[in-house]
Structure 1
Amino acid sequence: MLNGEKIIERPLRWAMVGGGRHGQVGYKHRTGALRDNTAFQLVAGAFDIDAERGKDFGINLGVDEKRLYPDYQTMFAEEAKREDGIEVVSIATPNGTHYEICKAALEADLHVICEKPLFFTSQEVLEIKELAEQKGKIIGVTYGFSGNQMLLQMRAMIEKGDIGDIRVVDLQYTHGFSANDDADKFSDAQKWRVDPKISGPSFVLGDLSTHTFYMSQLIMPKMKIKKLLCDRQSFIPSRAPLEDNAHVLMRYENGAVGTMWTSAINAGCMDGHRIRIVGSKASLEWWDSNPNELKYEVQGQPTQTLVRGMPYLDESCSADERLGALHSEGLSESWANIYLKFAIAIDAKNRGDEETLSNLVYPDINAGLDGVRWIENCVRSADNGAVWVDVSEVQESLSV
């Protein structure tokens, strides 16, 4: 169980690019990183494209005014001059800026934590992966839901054979907040998400389904997709060529089949984030709206509800426990769990501890690469008439 004691020798000196006052995601990063104040210390930032607004915001966060910068280039250069300069930076900016900021951070000898999807193409990810390896740095990807403990319980139960051979994978991440185009017109956070020059080749496939895809890979690390078929739509015509709804069919190497429905136009839906894994003996189901519970259905037996924090859970799940049974945890704790693992990974990398790195389950650069390839293959399938594509075929690039 986690209780806030230090797990690494000292907090990492941490900065943010983006994540300012008007962003949707910055507070989630700070909540995650600073939940265990023994892991990260926020010491600098370039929080906003508007330098004065970003400075004012940083002051209100308690950051030293002298370490609030107008842009990331200035921050990296000035912090490199300090003995107590930053060691790791989080990138919480629109998709189209990730690649250049990440590359600049690595060249400044910084570890990187980056929003998803990482970049526009797998070719860019492979280039950055090589640079990170040369520099000896960690790249973490903020798949923020993946720190929910009950996902590790699912992973452990599948590994132990509790549900038998996996036959069906049913994935869904939908909501109705973009059922009309109001947000496209009035929300800065939404405007860039439906602009292919900034968001990349997809809207909901990149913004929503990459979360669920990674979570499925976390739960079922041995399950590899062989082929997929994607059919995507732009029900709000102004969003074309980006999709606001998509259905994906999947065929796994072991013969299992899967589906993914991802949508921003599921009118009336507040939280349609669900994962169901059907095996030959039993099924497991997790809903984001009830993240502390896991439904376990054994054929011929009453349905069981496993509850977070209870002693019957696998120790890999209980290791991330924070508040105790019957005290609800949620997205903040999920982010805190992945940020703590980022800190452990960075510390291990700095010490050359490859054993810790090899045993640590967290969204790393390879998870980011898988997410970008997922988007590439979905777009390739959809744009060729919703055809089956072999996901092992690595595409060099996709036009945006």
Structure 2
Amino acid sequence: MHNGEKQIERPLRWAMVGGGRLSQVGYKHRIGALRDNTAFQLTAGAFDIDPERGKSFGMNLGVEEDRCYADYKTMFAEEAGREDGIEAVSIATPNGTHFAICKAALEAGLHVICEKPLFFTSEEGELIKTLAEEKGKIVGVTYGFSGAPMLLQMRAMIAQGKIGDIRIVDLQYTHGFCASEESEKHSDAQKWRVDPAVAGPSFVLGDLSTHTYYMSQLIMPEMKIERLLCDRQSFVGSRAPLEDNAYVLMHYENGAVGTMWTSSVNAGCMDGHRIRIVGSKASLEWRDSRPDELVYEVQGKPMQKLIRGMPYLDELCLAEERLGALHAEGLSEAWSNIYLKFAIAMDAKNRGDNDMLDTLIYPDIKAGTDGIRWIENCVRSADGGAVWVDFE
């Protein structure tokens, strides 16, 4: 159970690119990084494309004025010349900027935490993976939901054979907040998400389904997709060629089948993020709206509801506990868990502790590149006329 005690020798000096006053995700990053002030300390930032607004915002966060920079290139150069310069940076900017900023950060000798989807192509992912290895640095990806402890309970139970052989994987991440084009009119953040030049080759496949795809791989690390079929739609026509709704059918190497429904036009939906894994003996189901609960249904027996923080859970799950049973946890605790693991990974990399890195479960550069491949395969299938394609 996490109680705030330090797990690395000292907090890492940390900065942000983006994540400023108008950001939709910046606060989530800071909640995650700073919940355990023994992991990271915010010491610098290039928070906004508007330098004055970024400086004002950074100073209101407690960052010194001369360390609130106009742009990331200046920040990396200036911080490299300081004895107390930054050691890690989070990238919370639109998709199309991720590759250039991540590459510059690694070349400046920094560990990196980046928003998803990482980049536009898997080739870019492999280039960054190689560069990170050359520089001896960690690249993490903020699949924030994946820090929910009950996902690790699912992982443990599946590994222990509690549900038998996996047959069906049912994935969904949907909401209705973009059911009309009004969402673009009132949100700059939404505008760029439907601009291919900035967002890349997809909207909801990249913005939503990559979370759930990674979570499924976290839960079932041995399950590999053999082929898939994707059918995507732009119900709000101005978003074409990017989709606001998509269905994906999957065939796994072990013979299991799967589905993914991802959508931003599921009108009225406030509870559209769930994972159900069906085995030959039992099923497991988790919902983002009830992250403290895991439904366990054994064929022929009464349904069981497992509750976060209880001693009957696996140690893999209990190790991520923060508040104890009866006290609800949520997304902020999940982000804190993955940020703490980012810090542990960075510290282990600095010390050359490969044993730690080999056993640490967190969304790393491989997970980020796998997410890009997921998008690429889905787009390739959809653009080919919703045809089956081998998963590459």
1:396 paired residue number: none
Partner of 1:217: 217
Q: 2: distance between equivalents of 1:10 and 1:92?
A: 24
Cα offset, 1:276, TM superposition: 0.1
Taking structure 1 as the reference length, what is the TM-score of the superposition?
A: 0.98
Partner SS for 2:329:
coil
Q: CA deviation at 1:167?
A: 0.1
Are residues 1:174 and 2:174 paired? yes
CA distance in 2, matches of 1:380, 1:185: 30
Distance 1:314 1:243 in 2: 39
Uncovered stretches (5+) of structure 1, i.e. residues with no partner:
393-400
**In the alignment, what sits opposite 1:11?**
11
List per-residue Cα deviations over 1:317-364 (Å, max 9, x = no partner): 000100000100000000000000000000000000000000000000
- Tell me how far apart the structure 2 counterparts of residues 94 and 270 of structure 1 sit (CA, whole Å): 25
Deviation at 1:271, TM superposition (A): 2.5
Query: Residue 122 of structure 1 aligns with which residue?
Result: 122
Aligned partner of 2:101 in structure 1 is 101
Match of 1:397 in 2: none
* Structure 1 Cα separation of the partners of residues 119 and 233 of structure 2: 22
Deviation at 1:270? 1.2
Question: What residue number does 1:134 align with?
Answer: 134
**What SS class does the counterpart of residue 97 from structure 1 fall into?**
helix
Distance 2:198 2:47 in 1: 18
Paired amino acid for 1:82: R
1:1-400 paired onto structure 2 within 5 Å: 1-392=1-392
Residue by residue, what CA displacement relative to the aligned partner does 1:169-204 show, whole Å, maximum 9, x if unpaired? 000000000000011122011000000000000000
SS of the aligned residue for 1:102 comes to helix
- For 2:59 and 2:6, locate their aligned partners in 1 and report how far apart those are by CA, in whole Å: 27
Cα distance between partner residues in 2 of 1:138 and 1:336: 17
What CA distance in whole angstroms lies between the structure 2 residues aligned with 1:384 and 1:91? 33
SS, match of residue 321 in structure 1: coil
Distance 1:379 1:141 in 2: 21
SS of 1:105's equivalent? helix
Distance in 2 separating the partners of 1:309 and 1:270: 25
How many angstroms apart in 2 are the aligned matches of 1:387 and 1:175? 26
- Alpha-carbon distance, 1:97 to partner: 0.1
Letter in 2 for 1:64: E
How many angstroms apart in 2 are the aligned matches of 1:369 and 1:98? 13
Amino acid at match of 2:268: G
Q: Given residue 4 of structure 1, which amino acid in structure 2 is its aligned partner?
A: G
User: Structure 1: how far apart are the matches of 2:304 and 2:374?
Assistant: 33
Percent identical pairs in the alignment equals 80
Alignment correspondent of 1:398: none
Unaligned runs of 5+ in 2: none
Distance in 2 between residues matched to 1:250 and 1:58, nearest whole Å: 45
Structure 1: distance between partners of 2:188 and 2:358: 40
Structure 2 SS opposite 1:385: coil
- Which deviates the most, 158-167 or 183-192? 183-192
Rounded Cα–Cα distance in structure 1 between residues aligned with 2:270 and 2:316:
30
Matches of 1:228 and 1:178, distance apart in 2: 26
Give the length in aligned residue pairs.
Answer: 392
Distance, in Å, in 2 between the alignment partners of 1:260 and 1:72 is 36
AA at the equivalent of 1:386:
A
Q: Report the Cα distance in structure 2 between the residues aligned to 1:326 and 1:200, rounded to whole angstroms.
A: 42
Report the AA paired with residue 215 of structure 2: M
- Give deviations 1:16-43, integer Å, cap 9, x for gaps: 0000000100000000000000000000
With the length of structure 2 as denominator, give the TM-score of the two structures: 1.00
CA distance in 2, matches of 1:369, 1:154: 23
SS at match of 1:323: coil
The 2-side partners of 1:96 and 1:320 are apart by 33
Counterparts of 1:66 and 1:114, CA distance in 2: 24
Moved over 2 A (4+): none
